[in-house]
Amino acid sequence: MKKTAGKRILASLALLLSVTMLGGCGSEDAATEQPVGTAVEVAAVAPGTITDATVVRGNVSAIEDVYVVPKASGVVRSVNVNVGDYVSNGQVLCQLDTIDLQTTLALVQTQYNTLYTNYQEAVKNRDRYAALYAEGAVSLYQYEQAQTAVNNLGLDAARLQVQQVQDQINNCAVKSTANGLVAEINVNPGDMAGSSYVARVVDIDKVKLVANVTENMLSAMQLGMELPVHIDAVSSEPFVGVVTEIPVAANMTMTYPVEITVDNPDHLIMAGMFAEVDVVKAEAADALIIPKTAVNNNNEVYVVVDGIAYVRPVETGMSDDDYVEIVSGLEEGETVVTVGAYLLSDGAAVRIVEGADAADGENADNAENDADDAADAADNEDNAGEEAPDGVADAQ
């Protein structure tokens, strides 16, 4: 029983120590005086600027994104660029085999040369018959026969055939159709190139974002207006985007795809990156604003006057992430409750505290609870000792 009494004394000392630490160094006034009113945090009704903005999201794409498909088919003999290289419009990206085409070209060129020689002889013969016909030395029929011989040689068809084969050879040099960076190479030497693309070229000197906006947001947008574009993967600071295209009809989702272009001279922004755009629908300067936490679901606030909180209905306007506009119901300079209003009723007494003071009060409550827990634990241990079997008690 002596041990049990000692444990109770220790628990009492722990409680006394906790109260002493919370109350200060022996101040009797602090121990006896209790705070009056519910602790709340407040803010003043003050003028400010508030913006009604909506965030739209999407992925960045290149201003030009080209898949280069060869005009001819054949075996790839060489690839002249690497991924990441900058290429110009008309630069050769890869070369296809032209051996068979060169053989065909030699054949049709020989045929054309032979026909051209015959053509020259036929023209000379026709001109001779024309002169003789003018002198009456030959008949009209003979002259017409000479002209028909010129026409039937088929020189134009032979020339066209040569040109076609030459064009096929030229097309075996697969060229870029845009300025930009090589984003992808889809062939290797020895592959058969044909209907599929051989390379992808993107121009990211400028990038664009297609933002699907609602009809209410569309009315706030104009061609040429600047908007902040946030791309967190690149920078914490927003880029400047310019509205470059506004649709005249909604898409299948009943939203309007607005194109926003961003200058990207250093190529920091890559196609496919995630972006957010702040679309400002309206802005009010010198509006009365208060923290959003001060307004409850019934559009009411608690106004503090001489330590008493009074419920007051308000009419709100625009809002952002932190503040709300007060259209009516409050005057500039009045004080409203921002934290702790859920504990209040109309006419309740309050005491204004800062966030740190509220935290100190919570810590004090926790210390007192810890002391109570220690006393309860000591009592439980005493009860366990008293209820133990006689043999165990005698052993102790």
Mean pLDDT value of segment 332-358: 86
With cut-offs at 50, 70 and 90, classify the pLDDT of residue 189: very high
**Of 96-105, 111-120, 144-153, which gets the smallest average pLDDT?**
144-153
Asked whether the predicted pLDDT for residue 206 surpasses 70, the reply is yes
Angstrom distance (rounded) from CA 209 to CA 57: 9
At residue 354 the predicted structure's pLDDT band, cuts being 50, 70 and 90, is confident
Average pLDDT over residues 108-117: 94
Which band of pLDDT confidence, cut at 50, 70 and 90, is reported for residue 77?
A: very high
Instruction: Give the pLDDT of residue 101.
Output: 93
pLDDT band at 283 (very low <50, low <70, confident <90, very high): confident
By mean pLDDT, which of 12-16, 47-51, 137-141, 228-232 is the weakest?
12-16
Q: Is 383 exposed, middle or buried (0-12, 13-18, 19+ CB in 10 A)?
A: exposed
Q: What tokens were used for 162? A: 């040569």
The structure tokens listed for 61 are 């794409």
- Give percent above pLDDT 70 in the chain: 81
Place of tokens 């026909």: 115
- Residue 33 confidence (pLDDT): 60
Query: pLDDT band for position 92 (50/70/90)?
Result: very high
Nearest to 302 by CA among 329, 263, 273: 329
Highest mean pLDDT among 24-33, 220-229, 373-382: 220-229
DSSP secondary structure string for all residues of 121-133: HHHHHHHHHHHHH
Tokens 């134009």 belong to which residue? 156
Beta 173-175 vs 199-213: how paired, if at all? unpaired
Q: Report the C-alpha gap between 31 and 29 in whole angstroms.
A: 5
Asked if residues 312 and 303 have their Cβ atoms less than 8 Å apart, the reply is yes
Cα(214)–Cα(218) distance, integer angstroms: 6
Q: What is the mean pLDDT of the chain?
A: 83
Tens of pLDDT, residues 22-45: 444 444 454 456 668 899 999 999
% pLDDT > 90, the chain: 58
Mean pLDDT, range 182-208, rounded to an integer: 93
Return the DSSP state at 307. Answer: T
Quote the CA–CA distance of 26 and 288 in Å, as a whole number: 47
CA distance 379 to 342: 37
The pLDDT value given to residue 355: 63
Between CA 281 and CA 279 the distance in angstroms is 6
The band of 264, judged by pLDDT with boundaries at 50, 70 and 90, is very high
Tally the C-alpha atoms within 13 A of residue 152's C-alpha that lie toward its C-beta. 7
Place of tokens 């104009």: 222
How large is the average pLDDT for residues 175-196? 93
Per residue in 140-174, pLDDT tens?
999 889 999 888 888 899 999 999 999 999 999 99
Question: If pLDDT is split at 50, 70 and 90, which confidence band does 376 have?
Answer: low
- Separation of alpha carbons 54 and 282, rounded Å: 10
pLDDT reported for residue 369: 46
pLDDT over 50 at 243, yes or no: yes
Nearest to 89 by CA among 170, 172, 175, 171: 175
